[in-house]
Chain A
Amino acid sequence: MTGGRRNFLKTMSAGGLAAVAASGKARAAASGGGTSKVASSVPPIPAAALETAPLEPSESVQTAPSDAALSASARAQPLYGSDYMADCLQHLGLTVIPQVPGSTFTGLHESIVNRGMLREKPLDLLTVTHEEIGVAFAHGYAKVAGDATATIVHSTVGLQHASMALYNAWCDRAPVVCLTGSLTDPESRKNWVDWMHAVSDGPALTRDFTKFDETPRSLPHFTESLVRGYQMAMTPPQGPVVLAIDLNLQERRIAKDEALPSLRKPRISAPQGDSGGVAEAAKMLAQAENPVLIADRTARTAEGFGALIELAETLQAPVIDMGGRLNFPWLHPLNQSFNRGAVLREADVILAMEVQDLSNAVRPAPNARLISLSSYDYYLKSNYQSFQAMPKVDLAIAGDAEATLPALLAALRAAIPRRSRSAIADRGARWAEDRKGQMARARREAALGWSIKPITTGRVWAEVHDQVKDMDWAIVGGCHFEGKWPQQLWDARQHHQYIGDSGGYGLGYLPGAAVGAAYAHRSEGRLPIVFGGDGDLLMAPGALFTAAYHTIPLLYLVHNNGGYHQEIMKVQEQANARARGIARTHVGNVLPGADYAKLGASMGVASQRVVEPGDLRAAIARALEVVASGEPALIDIVSQGR
């Protein structure tokens, strides 16, 4: 990556878009020109709420007291249980906290804003408009940051809202620490609403698709549970955890002689496959004539990404990237993801690494010997069937693929006989030649319908790529409903440039996850891009508010195909199979007339609408200027169904 491609936010001009970027300038003015010394976490109070001109930030907001000063004052002033909890979050690095406020965690809320956000390494409390967005935010954030963060949801109703997003994180093996308020003691319930928001065992709701949950009974128990939860969430297979935090515990005063939390953030070392299994796998691969590598949620880090490249190049074996993460460079000659059937029909040995739907992935190769290397074998729950159909595996290695790859590589190098080197090189040359043909075909197909309306997804991606290809871009949403053109034509060479999709395949993930991922990219100065469905956006549009309010730069392209297109096709298929005609199959499936540019603008996001393909280029350029200025920008693109 060249220097010119990095630090997108620092290098692009911010001029020329006064009209659409006015919201950001107003915010900058309202916050005193961005002079606050505390992290960007204190958005201004809206002038409308004050009914007066924006106030200058107070001295207490401008200057962060030292942790030592806070500790000193802690002993001079009363401290509360939720102060203790906020300190625990800070110590554990769970510092980015999206939340919808709720009366069952007001204690912690107050401690975060008046204590946690004033620390030298402050917490950042973000306003989201739905608990599903909060969890999705944390989900997207974790996949970019490589570390979990926390989200807080109200008891009962809040966790119910959050549940779908937790299921996504579960299916996507993403670490999320979800705190939910709790009113355990009936004596503390003041009215009927408190009773409605009370539950004896709140986390039971999501227990089938979380790795761990706890309802701590004391502050030391909270510390223990939080560390345990974090450790469980981060240890592969990663996943969400839930802690119910009692309001009484939050509000309890801490006695002067009580200890403040003292905890260590553990460095998580992932489990590696056993040496015997690794040696056997290496032998099978070394002896194979046509080995194939399948990756899905394999690379969590740049190191894992690099290790898979090394493995593929050592074997000169084709790689099929199922897309759960960015596992392998998209334009690498050995990337045969769009040639899956042909590759697998030739395969005699397949190494599948953290592949979710393995049974289906290897369907074209029923006679190949199959090695599964996966942390999925470590942890399973029975009720929800996210574990997929049982594949016919010859060697199942329970181990985190990324952690195991270095050992596998070493064993493989030792197992490959010198006499095989020529054949291995020939194999790679053949796949590389094939790859050129695939790319030529992709370019031909992207050109089809270049000037038609509705605009093709191929043209959208090509137009964006043309303007961002020399920047440090990162795609923060799935592309499979938008043609998977980036995987075919974009030169992704770094692990952070793609984070896969929702996991659970339910609508509502994308807006929140994209904003959370964009937040994590912000500190690296990268350009986050998402091209996502209109149905997904309508499920959780409030994520746009969070992006605007907290000035999170993000290029949000709306794939406006006027409906739930998957279901348009599916219901049509049903109607045709029953010979009833499709005249009524649009009922309940279409979303005509929605204007996502107006939706974005209403949330404070600089927004445009594009209908003509010839208008795309200028619209993208304008939007990129907004994003370069540190703001989100949206383009509503009236597009083909797929």
Chain B
Amino acid sequence: MRSLFVAGALLALAAATGPVIAQPSGEAERPMEQANAARGRYLYFQTGCYACHGTIGHGAFLAGPKLTPPLMAFEPFSAQLREPVGRMPRYGAETMSDEDVADIYAFLKAIPPQPTPDSIDMLKDPS
């Protein structure tokens, strides 16, 4: 099922933008600190987070709010997935395991710092 999705929806978004995201191997049971950011990235796309929140969690108007920066603490992040507030669809344990949630969080945490407007000429404060 996952391979089907990769062949379809992900390709649509990432058309001509680079290699298809490979599925890293997951570990059945491991502590939170060992969350797998690479697998989280895969899951971020596979479970459709990117559609509303953008491919690096930067958010979008009339879609989903930005997730990072700053990234919220893990507990409220997880709670929002399980019992969302607002229009966010619910991601229950039947479709997303606790490890999946931890890996997605690790992916978001690993996103490199983004440029500030002052570092981009055309976004500098005109005043």
Contact = CB atoms under 8 A, between A and B. Distances in A.
Given A447-B117, A579-B95, A483 B122 contact: no
Interface in A581-624: 581-587, 589-593, 611
Interface stretch (B26-34, B61-69, B71-79, B102-110): B61-69
A576 B117 contact: no
Interface in B9-24: 9, 11-18
B89 A448 contact: no
Given A590-B12, A642-B61, A565 B66 contact: no
A453 B15 CA distance: 10
Contact of B54 (A449, A589, A590): A449
B90 A640 contact: no
Interface of B: 1-2, 4-5, 8-9, 11-18, 46-48, 50-52, 54-56, 58-63, 66, 87, 89-92, 94-95, 114-117, 119-125
B17 A448 contact: no
B13 A454 contact: yes
B63 A569 contact: yes
B48 A561 contact: no
A293 interface: no
B126 to A, nearest CB: 8
Given A444-B117, A589-B12, A640-B60, 9 more contacts: A443-B117, A448-B54, A448-B58, A453-B14, A576-B90, A579-B94, A579-B95, A585-B48, A641-B13
B55 A452 contact: yes
Closest 8 CB pairs of A and B: A586-B9, A642-B60, A576-B89, A590-B12, A448-B58, A443-B117, A562-B12, A466-B122
A611 B18 CA distance: 10
Interface stretch (A38-46, A181-189, A250-258, A457-465): A457-465
Interface of A: 439-440, 443-454, 456-457, 462-463, 465-466, 480-481, 483-484, 489, 560-563, 565, 568-569, 572-573, 575-577, 579-587, 589-593, 611, 638, 640-642
A463 B116 contact: no
The winner among B2, B55, B124 for most chain A CB atoms within 10 A is: B55
7 contacts: A446-B117, A448-B59, A483-B61, A562-B13, A582-B5, A583-B5, A585-B9
A450 B15 contact: no
Nearest to B2: A583
Given A565-B51, A611-B17, A641-B50, A577 B90 contact: yes
Contacts of A589: 12
Given A569-B63, A638-B16, A449 B56 contact: yes
A570 to B, nearest CB: 10
B14 A454 contact: yes
A569 B51 contact: yes
The winner among A457, A462, A576 for most chain B CB atoms within 10 A is: A576
Contact of B9 (A463, A484, A590): A590
Contacts of B116: 444, 447
Contacts of B121: 466
Contacts of B5: 582-584, 586
B108 to A, nearest CB: 13
Contacts of B55: 449, 452, 454, 640
A465 B122 contact: yes
Contacts of B62: 480-481, 642
Nearest to B15: A562
Contacts of B60: 457, 483, 640-642
A453 B17 contact: yes
The winner among A452, A562, A577, A583 for most chain B CB atoms within 10 A is: A583
Contact of B114 (A439, A448, A561, A579): A448
A196 to B, nearest CB: 39
Contacts of B15: 560, 562, 592-593, 638
A534 to B, nearest CB: 10
A642 B51 CA distance: 8
Nearest to A463: B122
A87 to B, nearest CB: 48
Nearest to A575: B89
A483 B51 CA distance: 14
A456 to B, nearest CB: 7
B61 A592 contact: no
Contact of A440 (B46, B87, B94, B125): B125
Given A448-B66, A572-B48, A454 B17 contact: yes
Given A448-B114, A577-B89, A641-B60, A586 B12 contact: yes
A641 B9 contact: no
Contacts of B95: 576, 579-581
A642 B16 contact: no
Nearest to B14: A454
A636 B16 CA distance: 12
Contacts of A462: 120, 122-123
B123 A447 contact: yes
B94 A638 contact: no
A585 B95 CA distance: 14
A212 B18 CA distance: 54
Contacts of A584: 4-5
Contacts of A484: 61
Given A445-B58, A448-B56, A452-B56, A641 B14 contact: no
